[in-house]
Amino acid sequence: MSRNPIRQLDDRLINQIAAGEVIERPASLLKELLENSVDAGATRISIQAERGGIKRIRITDNGHGIPRDELELALSRHATSKLQRFDDLFNVSTLGFRGEALPSISAVSRLSIASRALDGDSGYLAECHGGSQVSEPQPLAHATGTTVEVSDLFFNTPARRKFLKTEKTELKHLQDVVRRMALSCFDVAIDFSHNSRQVLAVSAANTPAEREKRIAGICGNSFANQSVYIEDNAGPMILEGWIGLPAFSRTQRDMQFFFVNGRAVKDNLIAHAVRRAYSDVLFHGRHPAFVLFFKIEPRLVDVNVHPAKTEVRFRETRAVHDYIYRCLHRAIATMTPEQSRVELPGPKEGVNTGVEEQYSSSERSRRGFGSLQSQQNIRMLVEEQLHAYSRFQNHEAPPHSSYEGSQELEQSEIPPMGFAIAQLKGVYILAENRDGLIMVDMHAAHERITYESLKKQSLKNGVVSQPLLVPLSIHVSEGEGNAAIEHIEIFRQYGFDIDSIGDEQLIVRSVPGILSRSDIETLVRDVLSDLIEYGISDRIKDAEHEILSSMACHGSVRANRRLTIEEMNALLRQMEEVERSGQCNHGRPTWMSASLEEIDKWFMRGR
């Protein structure tokens, strides 16, 4: 094959290559244009699309606009008002800053831009089709702000146009972009229509009530009703937003929105921190729902990682990871019974508990590193077993612990979980609180109580290391070997005695006693994988918790065991005190409720 000489690419080819990095589909150009509108200080944005955005997308905003003499420059590569000097690149506070969006879009479409600056006496229109020369700006009537219209996307690159999906699919991607922008910019009113039909319209939300209303309109009333607002400030880092209750989980990650300084991002570090926070309360295979806003000093985060600006890189990754994890973990652990409330279904409704089927013993045996058989062989002290079974038998019953006595109390004195009325089929506890009826799965509730007690006991007693009769040799890659040496203290902290006997071989001499029957080699490899990617790992702790969870399951009150009213009330009081009492160890809800108003509807009272 003959050698071609090195030559400078022409501007049109350069722009089309750049467009391939930035513009993947209509949703990509919509994202770029919306970011420009927000950066321009717009408080109202109107979006019109046709045929999924393939035929046309038109965006009008009321931002500060572009002067006539800058219109042509705005359509040239690497031209932006958002960076003035080199240091600004490391202190980016705007959504856009690369200066590639407009020229990249114009290189693969027919683009027109009309704008009027705040101090302008007229608007001006400029056009650029397929990367051609920008037309001379022409005067036209236009309100203060900017209108960008993009037609016939990829008309001059038919090979790329073939990769576009159906109109319905492209519309879904457009909706996703608009939803993310509506969530990140509460102070901006957005109107979105497709094929002359309104798809979404939200007004500016400047108060907490208005923001909650927007959240409900975009994420649905179910999320709004089954989520809690959190807010935490730690100097250079601030985390706020809404996190879904563990009972409101999803089969997909379709309701996870995370914003860094107003920018929607997808980051493995953040995803790992959230997953860790929910690990002890979610049903296996389910995903949490959340809308979270993370603010950090711009100098501590690099947003210049990906052309589409959907990824970021933090300067202190470990600090960011730990901060997000601690905030969410604390919020989930301290959810009150009122916050973790799951409503019983109304007539002809289903319950969105996030669990489609009961958690069987065979399912439990597939989770974690130790099998169910090995967990059953773990010796639990007789005193601990007796304590687990008799815990609420010996619990001091509160005054007025019977249902009749509770009727004499003032409404303000009735505890959140109320007082027991009866036991149903030896499985459920029926209780009455201020609002109405509560139904408790007594085994699931006691399992969580016992599990939390075992975790505290294990933390108090510390790690007990057990030497292996025959040291375990593990062959690893060079990268895994280096990670093991670098993080050797983490392994020792959890009771592992690990040494390197070569660049690609580790020797394990001691392991935590509670994990002696687990698959140690797989566990070590998984920990090393986490350490390489995130710089931290909770695999060992998770494996220990799996075994403690099994111990709690076997040590909790079983179905068909008859409890007295006093025992049931003692269990309810413990549920009010224990963290994460809304879910059992496997993510199933421990209790549900129905208000008196809802019960009246069941029986059509008042109609």
Q: Amino acid letter at 389?
A: Y
149 shares a domain with 89: yes
Q: What is the DSSP letter of 142?
A: -
Average pLDDT of 277-305? 88
Q: Amino acid letter at 360?
A: S
Question: What kind and span of H or E run contains 388?
Answer: helix 382-390
pLDDT value, residue 429: 94
Number of domains in the chain: 4
Q: Is 198 or 15 the better-scoring residue by pLDDT?
A: 198
Give the tens place of pLDDT for each residue, 108-131: 999 999 999 998 889 999 999 988
241 shares a domain with 326: yes
Distance CA 216, CA 194 (A): 22
**CATH assignment of the domain containing 62:** 3.30.565.10
Average pLDDT of 206-218? 94
Per-residue confidence at 141, pLDDT binned at 50, 70, 90?
very high
pLDDT value, residue 389: 42
Dihedral, CA atoms, 85, 90, 94, 95, nearest 10 degrees? 120
pLDDT value, residue 351: 44
Q: Are 309 and 95 in contact (CB under 8 A)?
A: yes
Average pLDDT of 423-427? 90
Q: Does residue 396 register a pLDDT over 60?
A: no
Helix (H, G, I), strand (E, B) or coil at 457: helix
Per-residue confidence at 337, pLDDT binned at 50, 70, 90?
low
Distance CA 301, CA 491 (A): 30
Q: Is residue 356 part of a domain?
A: no
Per-residue confidence at 346, pLDDT binned at 50, 70, 90?
low
Average pLDDT of 519-524? 90
Q: Are 466 and 511 in contact (CB under 8 A)?
A: yes
Q: Between helices 539-554 and 520-534, what is the axis angle to 10°?
A: 130
E strand spans, 493-538: 497-500, 505-512
* pLDDT, averaged across the chain: 83
Distance CA 197, CA 203 (A): 18
Q: Does residue 359 register a pLDDT over 50?
A: no
Distance CA 578, CA 165 (A): 50
**CATH assignment of the domain containing 406:** 3.30.1540.20
Q: Is 260 or 305 the better-scoring residue by pLDDT?
A: 260
Q: Does residue 172 register a pLDDT over 50?
A: yes
Q: Does residue 384 register a pLDDT over 70?
A: no
Distance CA 52, CA 194 (A): 7
pLDDT value, residue 370: 34
Q: Is residue 207 part of a domain?
A: no
Average pLDDT of 173-195? 96
pLDDT value, residue 273: 92
Q: Is residue 345 part of a domain?
A: no
Q: Does residue 23 register a pLDDT over 60?
A: yes
Q: Does residue 179 register a pLDDT over 90?
A: yes
Q: Is residue 447 part of a domain?
A: yes
pLDDT value, residue 386: 37
523 shares a domain with 437: no
146 shares a domain with 240: no
485 shares a domain with 416: no
Give this prediction's pTM.
0.75
E strand spans, 553-604: 591-595
Distance CA 245, CA 336 (A): 11
Read off the tokens for 488. 């050797």
Average pLDDT of 218-236? 91
Most confident of 97-101, 251-255, 370-374: 251-255
Distance CA 126, CA 73 (A): 11
290 shares a domain with 190: no
Distance CA 243, CA 274 (A): 10
Q: Is residue 544 part of a domain?
A: no
Average pLDDT of 426-450? 91
Give the end of a domain, one of 494, 511, 539.
Answer: 539
Q: Does residue 421 register a pLDDT over 50?
A: yes
pLDDT value, residue 546: 80
299 shares a domain with 160: no
Distances (CA, A) of 487 to 320, 499, 531: 19, 11, 8
pLDDT value, residue 343: 64
For the chain, how long is the longest CA-to-CA vector? 97
Q: Which range marks the domain in which residue 265 is found? A: 220-333
Q: Is the dihedral of CA 553, 558, 559, 562 positive or negative?
A: negative
pLDDT value, residue 331: 92
**CB count in 10 Å sphere of residue 407:** 11
pLDDT value, residue 91: 74
412 shares a domain with 560: yes
**Torsions phi, psi for 488 (to 5 deg):** -60, -30
Residue 486 CA, chain-centre distance (Å), reads 30
Q: Is residue 303 part of a domain?
A: yes
Buried b (16+ CB within 10 A) or exposed e, 366-394: eebbbbbebbeebeeeeebeeebbebbee
Ranking 29-33, 260-264, 343-347 by mean pLDDT, the lowest is 343-347
Q: Is residue 5 part of a domain?
A: no
247 shares a domain with 114: no
**CATH assignment of the domain containing 494:** 3.30.1370.100
E strand spans, 290-333: 290-296, 301-302, 313-314
**Nearest alpha carbon to residue 354 among 337, 365, 370, 340:** 340
Per-residue confidence at 88, pLDDT binned at 50, 70, 90?
low
Q: Are 350 and 592 in contact (CB under 8 A)?
A: no
Distance CA 585, CA 582 (A): 10
Q: Is residue 344 part of a domain?
A: no
532 shares a domain with 404: no
Q: Does residue 288 register a pLDDT over 50?
A: yes
Q: Does residue 552 register a pLDDT over 70?
A: yes
Give the end of a domain, one of 202, 230, 259.
Answer: 202
102 shares a domain with 23: yes
**CATH assignment of the domain containing 319:** 3.30.230.10
Per-residue confidence at 362, pLDDT binned at 50, 70, 90?
very low
Per-residue confidence at 21, pLDDT binned at 50, 70, 90?
low
534 shares a domain with 561: no
Q: Does residue 22 register a pLDDT over 90?
A: no
**CB count in 10 Å sphere of residue 163:** 9
Q: Is 535 or 26 the better-scoring residue by pLDDT?
A: 26
Dihedral, CA atoms, 24, 26, 29, 33, nearest 10 degrees? -160
Ranking 405-414, 430-439, 506-515 by mean pLDDT, the lowest is 405-414
Average pLDDT of 197-216? 95
Q: Does residue 64 register a pLDDT over 90?
A: yes
Name the percent of the chain lying above pLDDT 70.
Answer: 84
Give the end of a domain, one of 202, 232, 266.
Answer: 202
- As a residue count, the chain comes to 607
DSSP bridge pairs for 294: 239, 260
What would the DSSP string read from start to end of 527-552?
Answer: HHHHHHHHS---HHHHHHHHHHHHHH
Number of helices and strands in the chain (H, E): 21, 22
Give the tens place of pLDDT for each residue, 559-593: 678 889 999 999 999 999 888 888 887 778 898 88
pLDDT value, residue 377: 34
Q: Are 294 and 237 in contact (CB under 8 A)?
A: yes
Per-residue confidence at 410, pLDDT binned at 50, 70, 90?
low
pLDDT value, residue 345: 62
